[in-house]
Structure formats: C-alpha cells, structure tokens
Homo-oligomer: A and B are copies of this chain.
Amino acid sequence: MHISTASKISGLPVKTVRYYADIGLVSAPCRSEAGYRIYDDAAVRKLAFVRRARQFGFSIDECRELIGLYEDQRRSSADVKRIATNRLAEIARKQLELKSLHDELEHLVNACKGDHRPDCPIIDSLGNRQNPIESDPAP
C-alpha cells in the first residue's frame, strides 16, 4: 500500500510517517519503481505501535527501544517493564508539578476581583515575588 493508506490505517499524518522513515524509526519495507514508499501490514502495525507509545509520552528514543523489544521474540518482559516504570514515574512527577502550579494559580485567580479596576493580585504576585538567588530586593 502507498503512504496515504498506511497513514490512514496507522492514524499518523503522512508527514509523520515519512518523518519516522527519515529518522529510521519505522521504514517502508520497499519502494515502487517510481520511488513510492510501499508499506505492508507489519510496517503499519509498527507505525500504530509508535503512535500509541507516543500518546503515552514515550520519547522517540524510547520508542526506538520499544520497537526493538516489540520485534524481539526473545525479549524479557522485565526489559519492557523497566522502561514503562520509568515513564510512569515521570508522569507522576509531572502530575505533582502541575498540581502545585494549579493550586497556586487558582489561589491567585480567586483572589482577583476581575473588575474594571487596576488592582490585581495576579500581577502583584508575579511582580513582587522575590527571586531565588538574591533575596534582597532594591530599596
């Protein structure tokens, strides 16, 4: 099948399919005489695999590693679990970060009257906070 079909089935944009071939992540198994990329079911499955992994936030390099394991019938599940567990920890870290961000900003938004007057705790907080290095503001 041509690249547009592979694109539709895998759920990836044509541009991205071509990009993944360029960087050697998932290549078309062969070319037509005119130079068109020809994909088969196995390649399309790999593309969809990568799409899913990317949705999970795995980096391209991690996808490379996962594709390797995906293709390796002798892999141990421990190898896969290790990568996924790292990813899980990273997601949890980001969740914490977002939560504190959210709480702080929500506090500011709630404190702001949101009227026509210039007094605004949000601006005040952004402007008046002390920086982390020199905590001695100018007089």
Interface residues of A (CB under 8 A from B): 8-11, 41, 45, 48-49, 51-53, 55-57, 66, 69-70, 72-78, 80-82, 84-85, 87-88, 91-92, 94-95, 98-99, 101-102, 104-106, 108-109, 112-120, 122-123, 125-127, 129-134, 138
> With A8-B134, A9-B134, A126-B53 in contact, is A120–B66 under 8 Å at CB?
no
User: Contacts of A55 on B, CB cut-off 8 Å?
Assistant: 101
Assess whether B105 is in contact with A84, with CB atoms less than 8 Å apart: yes
User: Contacts of A109 on B, CB cut-off 8 Å?
Assistant: 81, 84-85, 88
User: Contacts of A92 on B, CB cut-off 8 Å?
Assistant: 102
Q: How many copies does the complex hold?
A: 2
**When the two chains form the complex, which single residue of B56, B78, B104, B106 contacts A101, counting CB atoms closer than 8 Å?**
B56
User: Contacts of A129 on B, CB cut-off 8 Å?
Assistant: 48, 52
Assess whether A88 is in contact with B114, with CB atoms less than 8 Å apart: no
A110 to chain B, nearest CB (A): 10
A100 to chain B, nearest CB (A): 10
A68 to chain B, nearest CB (A): 11
> With A8-B133, A95-B98 in contact, is A113–B77 under 8 Å at CB?
yes
> With A131-B11, A132-B11 in contact, is A95–B84 under 8 Å at CB?
no
